[in-house]
Amino acid sequence: MADLSPCLLVHYAEIGLKGRNRPLFERRLIANIEHGLAPISPVRVRRLYGRVMVELEPGHEEEAIARLRRVFGIAYFAPALACPPEMEAIREAALRVIEGHTAASFAVRAKRADKSFPHPSQEINQEIGGLVARETGWPVNLGDPALTVRIEVVDRRCFVFCDRMEGRRGLPVGVSGQVVALLSGGIDSPVAAARMMRRGCRVSFVHFHSFPYTNAASQEKVVGLVGLLGRYQGPGELHQIPLLDIQRHIVGHAPSSLRVLLYRRAMVRLAAEIARRLKAPALVTGESLGQVASQTLANLTAVDRCSPIPILRPLLGWDKEEIIDEAKRLGTFDLSIEPHEDCCSFLEPKEPATRSTDRKLSAVEHALELEPLLAAALAQVEVRVVEAEA
């Protein structure tokens, strides 16, 4: 009997391609996998050539799989049997991994990354293919097999598996730096934040509330969203900022058609200050071109002009249906559609401007003398670290 030990074999996504940055990405991915699996103890995560091996105590595989599905940077992963790089052990492992399967056809695909193993891939394919055909009677189909038995020889180990599971791809959170996302209680902004995580960003959050006009439950909903998004990056910092005094001032002293844009520019200025404090070089919003009046090209541009740092809009070219589908996949949709009171629907004008300009808004803002109100809002920021939902 060979020594066959169950494990999870993880293949990375793009990080294999990143040249000199590769060790950095690999270390980050491994740290993120360790962090993601930390509630399942004990777990051992090892780096191999181009892959990661996760060893678990028996009985934790399902939970580990669910958790690995949330780690960005993984292309795919598989429950595998690890065995010594010896043909006899590979034979035994291959028969073990197909136990319980029935297949209309099959193929064996071997990869030999470790050339110290004396048998070339083709020889492994033939040897194990012959064995499986004899044992099961399944026909070989190399073009479109119903079941694929995979064998990988890496770093003086061999892995045998057949069920490959899709990872979320993208880049490991942390390799692209930090951004500050403007998080409402709606559907779009959590998706936008997650898209940035998927490109390797760690995301901190800013939420604006109009308490006591908007209720405390709406703020708790946002805390819940940060917790759900934490499944993809770990704990998140949430900055809650009161906007009510600024809104009242705008409502009292500016044309109603410009209200939403003036609120938005105030939000952007305040969020940019939080970003400065956190040394984050960019903001993120859930805006999508043309979705509502405040998101026309003219209005988005007019908002951009007031921001000292770039505003990233990962959903700019997305349809609402696409955003909803992604929110469902992420697990934020159900919470996002729970009723809440949004600070922007508060005193929303009947006819919002669709074509505003920076010049026009700047002139109105100049007369409004918002500076002291912005400073007062910043003096009342409440920061909390929100743990990831289980």
Question: Which partner, ligand ATP, Mg ion, none, binds residue 207 by CB below 5 to 8 Å per kind?
Answer: ligand ATP
Q: Does 189 bind ligand ATP (CB under 6 A)?
A: yes
Q: Does 145 bind Mg ion (CB under 5 A)?
A: no
Q: Does 286 bind ligand ATP (CB under 6 A)?
A: yes
Residue of 284, 293, 356, 275 lying closest to 316 (CA atoms)? 284
Question: Which partner, Mg ion, ligand ATP, none, binds residue 104 by CB below 5 to 8 Å per kind?
Answer: none
Q: Does 386 bind ligand ATP (CB under 6 A)?
A: no
Among 73, 85, 170, 186, the residue binding Mg ion under the rule CB under 5 A is 186
Q: Which is nearer to ligand ATP, 87 or 324 (CB)?
A: 324
CB-based burial, 307-345: b 16+ in 10 Å, e otherwise: bebebbbbbbebeeeebbebbeebbbbebbeeebbebbe
Q: Which is nearer to ligand ATP, 26 or 188 (CB)?
A: 188
Answer whether 349's CB lies under 8 Å from 260's CB.
Answer: yes
Please report how many Cα atoms fall inside a 13 Å half-sphere around the Cα of residue 182, on the Cβ side.
Answer: 26
Q: Between residue 166 and residue 185, which ones bind Mg ion under the rule CB under 5 A?
A: 184
State the Cα–Cα distance between residues 223 and 341, nearest whole angstrom.
14
Read off the DSSP letter of residue 55.
E
Q: Does 292 bind ligand ATP (CB under 6 A)?
A: yes
Query: For residue 78, what are the β-bridge partners?
Result: 9
Options 55-63, 87-95, 122-130, 289-297: segment touching ligand ATP (CB under 6 A): 289-297
Q: Does 182 bind ligand ATP (CB under 6 A)?
A: yes
Sign of the dihedral through C-alpha 297, 299, 302, 304? negative
Q: Which is nearer to Mg ion, 34 or 342 (CB)?
A: 342
Q: Does 294 bind ligand ATP (CB under 6 A)?
A: yes
Please tell me whether residue 342 adopts helix, strand or coil conformation: coil
What is the nearest approach in angstroms of ligand ATP to the Cβ of residue 298? 15
Question: Which partner, ligand ATP, Mg ion, none, binds residue 183 by CB below 5 to 8 Å per kind?
Answer: ligand ATP
- Report helix, strand and coil shares of the chain as percent, to nearest 5: 45, 20, 35
Q: Which is nearer to Mg ion, 125 or 184 (CB)?
A: 184
Q: Does 218 bind Mg ion (CB under 5 A)?
A: no
Q: Which amino acid is at 282?
A: A
CB-nearest residue to ligand ATP: 186
DSSP one-letter string for 311-322:
EE-TTTT--HHH
Which tokens hold the place of 33?
């996998």
Q: Per-residue contact track with ligand ATP, 334 to 363, x per CB under 6 A?
A: ---------xx-------------------
What is the nearest approach in angstroms of ligand ATP to the Cβ of residue 277? 17
What is the nearest approach in angstroms of ligand ATP to the Cβ of residue 318? 11
Q: What is the 3-state secondary structure (H, E, C) of 244-274?
A: HHHHHHHHHHCCHHHHHHHHHHHHHHHHHHH
Residues that bind Mg ion (CB under 5 A): 184, 186
Residues that bind ligand ATP (CB under 6 A): 182-184, 186-189, 206-208, 267, 285-287, 291-292, 294, 343-344
